[in-house]
């Protein structure tokens, strides 16, 4: 073999080697991108779920939506559990998967939620809320909870809209769940809040969280129904409920609120926002703020 042929052969070998390495790198990068996409999808599904998901339900939904094997999905779920993004919870004897709430969660510029036993960083503008993980939603992971807190930040802190309300600055949180919104409202300037939930278990959890935040004297938790005799007139109504319920409550909310009172709503789909604004607009409420997050909407309205 002459030297020129040998040099040519070596160059070809190097070229083939480089192509092979590039190909292997492409495969590895593609696999990493696929895995990251799957992890993001699973985390989003769990975070946005309206009800708690069992492992079996999550695996079934993911395999159908992404066309991957159950084994692959199980491995991805395990990765999210191991890195602390998700955690197992046990509700009425059933195992569920939820976003982990093991460290402080900054929801807005002002509101930070944290579990018991954790000391969050405190700065002058921070409003910290201690929430015990439980059966009720309310650790700030769901978009509707975040939208309500964003709405409160706008109405009570940024714009200080309560100052225009001549009635005592009392409020009601309808469907309080964990009590997080009632606690946030009081810490952001409301004098007293009535936290209502017709589920006794949720009401009991809300009472625990109110106690954790040392607000028993400013928040009253009850599982009775809201009616026209409930501490009227109110300066603010907060409700993280679905559209049909919010619409049906329009006459009652109109009756129990005073002039310049605030309505803070979420639990609404974007396509339901206009009909809801129309229903309340006919009763003298005008929209001051609205936002969307992951196919959910939040809104602040003021009574004229």
What is the residue extent of each domain of the chain? 3-99, 105-303
- Cα 217 to Cα 173: distance, rounded to the nearest angstrom: 16
Considering only CA atoms, which of 120, 226, 240 is closest in space to residue 180?
240
Confidence of residue 49 (pLDDT cuts 50, 70, 90): confident
pLDDT digits (tens, 9 = 90+) for 156-198: 999 999 999 988 999 999 999 999 999 999 999 999 999 999 9
Strand, coil or helix: 111: strand
- The CATH-assigned architecture of domain 3-99 is Orthogonal Bundle (1.10)
Confidence of residue 103 (pLDDT cuts 50, 70, 90): confident
pLDDT reading at 223 higher than 80? yes
**% helix, strand, coil for the chain, step of 5:** 45, 25, 30
Q: Give the residue-averaged pLDDT of 241-248.
A: 97
Task: Please tell me if the domain spanning 3-99 has the same topology as the one spanning 105-303.
Answer: no
Contact between 111 and 129 (Cβ < 8 Å): yes
Of 304 and 12, the one with more pLDDT: 304
Rounded to the nearest 5 degrees, what angle is found at the Cα of 157, between the Cα atoms of 271 and 161? 70
Contact between 110 and 153 (Cβ < 8 Å): yes
Cβ neighbour number for residue 299 with a 10 Å cutoff = 23
Of 197 and 226, the one with more pLDDT: 197
What per-residue confidence (pLDDT) applies to 241?
Answer: 96
The CA radius of gyration of the chain, in Å to the nearest whole number, is 26
Confidence of residue 138 (pLDDT cuts 50, 70, 90): low
Class of domain 105-303: alpha beta
Determine what percent of the chain is predicted with pLDDT higher than 70.
Answer: 85
What per-residue confidence (pLDDT) applies to 224?
Answer: 85
Contact between 162 and 169 (Cβ < 8 Å): yes
């Amino acid at each position: 073999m002459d030297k020129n042929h040998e040099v040519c052969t070596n160059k070809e070998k190097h070229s083939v080697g480089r192509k092979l390495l590039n190909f292997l790198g492409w495969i590895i990068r593609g696999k990493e991108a696929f895995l990251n996409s799957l992890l993001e999808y699973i985390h989003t599904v769990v975070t946005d779920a309206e009800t708690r998901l069992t492992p079996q339900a999550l695996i079934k939904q993911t395999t159908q939506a992404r066309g991957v094997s159950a084994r692959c999905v199980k491995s991805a779920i395990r990765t999210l559990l191991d890195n602390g993004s998700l955690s197992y919870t046990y509700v009425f004897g059933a195992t569920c998967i939820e976003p982990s709430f093991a460290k402080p969660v900054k929801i807005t510029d002002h509101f930070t939620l944290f579990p018991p036993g954790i000391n969050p960083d405190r700065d002058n503008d921070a409003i910290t809320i201690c929430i015990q993980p439980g059966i009720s939603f309310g650790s700030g992971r769901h978009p509707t909870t975040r939208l309500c807190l964003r709405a409160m930040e706008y109405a009570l802190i940024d714009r200080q809209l309560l100052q225009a309300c001549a009635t005592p600055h009392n409020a009601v949180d309808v469907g309080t769940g964990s009590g997080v919104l009632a606690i946030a409202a009081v810490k952001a300037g409301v004098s007293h809040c009535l936290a209502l939930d017709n589920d006794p278990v949720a009401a009991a959890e809300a009472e625990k969280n109110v106690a954790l935040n040392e607000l028993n004297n400013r928040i009253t938790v009850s599982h009775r129904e809201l009616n026209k005799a409930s501490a009227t007139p109110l300066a603010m109504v907060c409700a993280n409920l679905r559209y049909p319920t919010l619409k049906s409550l329009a006459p009652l909310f109109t009756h129990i609120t005073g002039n310049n009172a605030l309505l803070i709503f979420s639990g609404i789909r974007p396509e339901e926002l206009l009909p809801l604004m129309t229903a309340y607009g006919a009763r003298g409420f005008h929209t001051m703020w609205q936002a969307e997050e992951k196919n959910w909407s939040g809104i602040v309205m003021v009574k004229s």
